[in-house]
């Protein structure tokens, strides 16, 4: 940690900062420049330290040197982690393709879709039973009935499934049915929920928050891991920017960055990132080329009848076409579908 004193800091203020650092167990290196005094403090530990120092008189800024995430970071865990969800493995040579509707609407819809996406090459099913909707008047999901339908679809196809959990109270129920728990973008900093899934013994798919930095995202993973659940897979799904031509801005750089900073697998969701059917294919291709470990796509038998996210949903036939285009690119980067 580096503490930069401001240009008008007095000797007394400098002494107080040094005393505080020593009290906290830091070793100190002082550099006196012509215009600034800079203190190098070795041994940084607690997050509170930075805020307290910045609140001291005479301090201009505090620059942390070490990353605040330890369990999620690659520094102390250099080899890549493989996360298993039922028969599926994230982070290996084989790309994981998750497909299914935004929301489970009825048993026929989810079973038909599951069969169709399996036939086209998906290895996992997705479908929402608990839906976080921006409008209180929109369809909110079938809840436990939806989970049962997902389980029936798994029964019928052998595909494991991932589904979102939005209420800490529902974690237990969802764990009973699902192969993997999804934390949605709007809940990425719902710390109560993160702790709860951290205690669950099921892998977690952690979507990036709409305006979350890479660091905050890894801190959210750290929350889950700090409760003992190390099976976390990250999912880039676009961030909020000034651009309105797309629903979100797909931050493809996040894929290689996460690979560098963390040992956790990362997949991409081209459906939510672009928000338009015609963007699913190019964004899926881009994600794979950039090193993603998998993809999650919204597939609905009749997008214009979907109870949510119709404009970004593709049909099973379109999904099949995309899979065909993905195959050569996947192989070109040394992996397989």
Give the residue with the Cβ less far from a second copy, 109 or 313: 313
Specify the 3-state DSSP secondary structure of 132.
Answer: coil
Beta carbon of residue 204, minimum distance to a second copy (angstroms, whole number): 14
Specify the 3-state DSSP secondary structure of 1.
Answer: coil
φ and ψ of 251, to 5 deg: -90, 80
Q: Does 172 bind a second copy (CB under 8 A)?
A: no
CA geometry: angle 300, 305, 307, nearest 5 deg:
80
Give the x/- contact pattern for a second copy in 76-95, rule: CB under 8 A: --------------------
Give the residue with the Cβ less far from a second copy, 47 or 87: 47
Q: State the Cα–Cα distance between residues 247 and 167, nearest whole angstrom.
A: 25
DSSP string, 168-219: GGGHHHHHHH-SEEEEPGGGTT-HHHHHHHHHSSS-EEEEPPTT--HHHHHH
Token code pair at residue 241: 């920017």
CA atoms lying within 13 Å on the CB side of residue 190: 18
Q: State the Cα–Cα distance between residues 153 and 125, nearest whole angstrom.
A: 9
Contact 267, 234 (CB under 8 A): yes
Give the residue with the Cβ less far from a second copy, 67 or 115: 67
Give the residue with the Cβ less far from a second copy, 32 or 145: 32
* Of positions 92, 121, 282, 320, contacts a second copy by CB under 8 A: 282
* Of positions 100, 203, 301, 303, contacts a second copy by CB under 8 A: 303
Give the x/- contact pattern for a second copy in 43-72, rule: CB under 8 A: x--xxx--xxxxxxx-----x-xx-x----
Residues in 249-268 that interact with a second copy by CB under 8 A: 249-253, 255-257, 260
Beta carbon of residue 168, minimum distance to a second copy (angstroms, whole number): 6
Beta carbon of residue 89, minimum distance to a second copy (angstroms, whole number): 22
* Of positions 133, 152, 156, 173, contacts a second copy by CB under 8 A: 133
Residues in 150-169 that interact with a second copy by CB under 8 A: 166-169
Tokens 């921006």 sit on residue? 134
Give the residue with the Cβ less far from a second copy, 2 or 151: 2
* Of positions 22, 87, 108, 213, contacts a second copy by CB under 8 A: 213
Beta carbon of residue 218, minimum distance to a second copy (angstroms, whole number): 10
Strand partners, 38: 4, 31
Give the x/- contact pattern for a second copy in 223-252, rule: CB under 8 A: x--xx-----------xxxxxxxx--xxxx
Beta carbon of residue 55, minimum distance to a second copy (angstroms, whole number): 3
Beta carbon of residue 220, minimum distance to a second copy (angstroms, whole number): 8
Q: State the Cα–Cα distance between residues 164 and 18, nearest whole angstrom.
A: 48
Beta carbon of residue 154, minimum distance to a second copy (angstroms, whole number): 26
Count of residues binding a second copy (CB under 8 A)?
108
* Of positions 82, 87, 158, 211, contacts a second copy by CB under 8 A: 211
Beta carbon of residue 18, minimum distance to a second copy (angstroms, whole number): 14
* Of positions 310, 320, 321, 335, contacts a second copy by CB under 8 A: 310
Token code pair at residue 319: 């999904």
Token code pair at residue 281: 């294919």
φ and ψ of 294, to 5 deg: 175, 180
Token code pair at residue 228: 């003992």
Strand partners, 32: 37
Give the residue with the Cβ less far from a second copy, 156 or 227: 227
Select the span of 117-125, 145-153, 175-183, 300-308 touching a second copy (CB under 8 A). Answer: 300-308
The sign one gets for the Cα dihedral 72, 77, 81, 83 is: negative
Q: State the Cα–Cα distance between residues 62 and 39, nearest whole angstrom.
A: 9
């Amino acid at each position: 940690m580096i503490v930069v004193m401001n240009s008008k800091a007095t000797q007394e203020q400098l002494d107080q900062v040094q005393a505080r650092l020593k009290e906290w167990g830091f070793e100190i290196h002082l550099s006196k420049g012509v215009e600034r005094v800079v203190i190098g403090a070795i041994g940084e530990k607690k997050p509170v330290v930075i805020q307290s120092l910045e609140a001291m008189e005479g301090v201009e800024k505090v620059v942390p040197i070490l990353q605040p995430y330890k369990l999620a970071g690659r520094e102390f865990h250099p080899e890549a982690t493989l996360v298993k969800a039922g028969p599926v493995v994230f982070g290996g040579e084989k790309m994981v393709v998750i497909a299914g509707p935004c929301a489970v609407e009825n048993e026929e819809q989810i079973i038909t879709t599951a069969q169709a996406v399996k036939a086209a090459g998906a290895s996992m099913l997705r479908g929402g039973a608990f839906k976080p909707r921006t409008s209180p008047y929109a369809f909110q999901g079938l809840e436990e009935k939806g989970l049962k339908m997902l389980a029936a679809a798994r029964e019928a196809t052998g595909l494991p499934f991932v589904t979102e959990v939005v209420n800490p109270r529902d974690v237990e129920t969802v764990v009973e049915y699902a192969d993997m728990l999804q934390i949605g973008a709007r809940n990425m900093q719902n710390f109560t929920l993160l702790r709860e899934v951290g205690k669950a013994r099921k892998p977690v798919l952690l979507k990036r928050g709409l305006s979350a930095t890479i660091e905050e995202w890894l801190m959210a993973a750290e929350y889950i891991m700090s409760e003992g659940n190390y099976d976390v897979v990250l999912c880039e799904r676009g961030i909020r920017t000034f651009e309105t031509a797309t629903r979100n801005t797909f931050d493809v750089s996040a894929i290689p960055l996460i690979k560098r900073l963390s040992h956790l697998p990362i997949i991409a969701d081209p459906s939510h990132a672009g928000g338009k059917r015609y963007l699913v294919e190019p964004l899926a291709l881009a994600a794979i080329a950039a090193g993603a470990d998998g993809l999650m796509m919204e597939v609905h038998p009749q997008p214009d009848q979907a109870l949510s996210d119709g404009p970004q949903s593709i049909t099973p036939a379109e999904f099949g076409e995309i899979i065909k285009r993905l195959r050569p690119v996947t192989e070109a980067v040394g992996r397989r579908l």
